[in-house]
Chain A
Amino acid sequence: MLELKNVSFSADGKEILKNINLVIEDNKFVVMTGPNGSGKSTLAKIIAGLQKPDSGQILLDGQDITHWGITKRANSGISFAFQQPVRFKGVTVKDLITLASGKKMNTIAVCQYLSEVGLCAKDYIDREINGSLSGGELKRIEIATVMARRTKLTVFDEPEAGIDLWSFKNLIDVFEKMHQEVKGSILIISHQERILDIADQVVVISGGQVSQVGTKEKVLPGLFGVDLGCKYFKGV
């Protein structure tokens, strides 16, 4: 179980997150949504250790991990899929998935992860993760990478960004399968209704605060009435 207690974060004199309190229960599929700039990605980075909160506490299975670095958190069972995947000259798809799994992997095992994200394994396994791959391809490789880690908490930051419509259905299947097989918690930052639809719990972040938490049945109907904190916004 992951627990955030009164987590706050500021950057360049601006308050990005204000006293966030949130619990991600074991084996739950949680989708975090909210307007652009509301602090969702920052919160995901704080969970993975990429950003340090100014105040507050982060607990993983009751253990205080607030001051743990990225590596220690990763080795304790937290995975993070970047919104904008990183490129590496010389590092191949197989290298990265093997590193992610933490063990020696044969080609067949690597291919399985690639196939699940809709990539033809033989075309990609030896490709370098460089500028020759499109944004959508990189995104799918990023998802395959975190799938290979099979950790108790996986955080995806807008996994649908850059994924074409044809692949989007597969993506939903990937998340559902991962949820069933790994038996871990999944936290996805997303704006997509179809991803929100498969959530056990929906968290709405607005203006750096948790504005709603609940089942999709409870949260989704009122979602579009969220006050975006903008005086020009009249609602829809």
Chain B
Amino acid sequence: MLSDIIKNLLSEVAGIQNIPTSGAFNIRNNGKSAGSSSTKNIQIIPKTDGSGIDIYIKPGTKNESVHIPALVTDTNMHDVVYNDFHIGEDAEVTIVAGCGIHNCGSGISQHDGIHRFFVGKNAIMKYIEKHIGEGDGEGQNIINPQTHIFAEENSYVEMDTVQLKGVDSTKRISSAKLATGATVVIKEKIMTHGSQYAETSFDVELDGEGSSAKLISRSVARDSSRQLFRSKLCGNNACYGHSECDAIIMDHGIVAAEPEIIANNVDATLIHEAAIGKIAGEQLTKLMTLGLTEKEAEAQIINGFLK
């Protein structure tokens, strides 16, 4: 029987209310399994050293999904997990991960999820990751995820990652290596409040001919929070890479962007766009002419920006 706190975290992070009765899943709570199930096409196997799990998606699997949320509900808990995903050739799969922390104590609750994705030829993978923190204790909520993608020939990877509340500190490290014709699209949305800190780092190697990568980061830094966005796109072949960092700063929020694009091949096309600033006055004015108050207009603009 799951507690209401866990049910709520599961709902927020993975969109599930309870332990599923079907489908592939692995629920981790305070470093231990709270339930796991494999299916005919998706096998979840604990690593022999106990450090995490291996998830095997059979070649040719179509329209299946796997949920692997991780929760931390104890204070003074530092959970580290290593999960490897092996996506078979021609498979089409959605992976829902993410982490929820509920910290009612005065210690640190921390989750570091290190995920590697080996995406086979022509496979299509959608990876959804949501991070939240909650709890009324004075302790800190820390989430440091790592995502490393190895995209084989003509594979397609889409990663949506969201962190909108309650995480005091995060260092998010992502990397991707792309073979011929592979595509990786990463969309990140972050909002920080209070004195929170968020750091994002993308490192993409476009190795294969015709490979392409798109990184889209939208973030809002409120109060006295700080964010750092780093991206590095290396074009090592005839390829296309585009990174885009848009940030809204409010109150005393600080955002820094450090983009790097390196063309190691004359046929590599690499673009970086970055825009950081407060909400444009004319946007507020426009919504106020529709009858919204300034506060309502501000909320509408932020909601839309991070939608």
Contact = CB atoms under 8 A, between A and B. Distances in A.
B290 A149 contact: yes
Interface residues of A, number: 24
B301 A91 contact: yes
B257 to A, nearest CB: 16
B292 A71 contact: yes
A75 B306 CA distance: 27
Contacts of A85: 286
B289 A80 contact: yes
A91 B300 contact: yes
| Residue among B291, B293, B294, B300 with the highest chain A CB neighbour number at 10 A | B291
By secondary structure, the B interface counts as helix
A74 B306 contact: no
Interface residues of B, number: 22
A55 to B, nearest CB: 23
Given A86-B280, A88-B283, A90-B218, A99 B290 contact: yes
Contacts of A74: 288-291
A110 B249 CA distance: 32
Given A50-B285, A70-B285, A99-B300, A89 B305 contact: yes
Contact of A71 (B246, B288, B300, B306): B288
Given A88-B304, A91-B301, A100 B286 contact: no
A48 interface: yes
B301 A88 contact: yes
B282 A86 contact: yes
Contact of B291 (A90, A92, A95, A102): A102
B294 A71 contact: yes
A69 B246 CA distance: 30
Contacts of B246: 89
A80 B288 CA distance: 10
A50 B285 CA distance: 8
A86 B288 contact: no
B40 interface: no
A171 B284 CA distance: 27
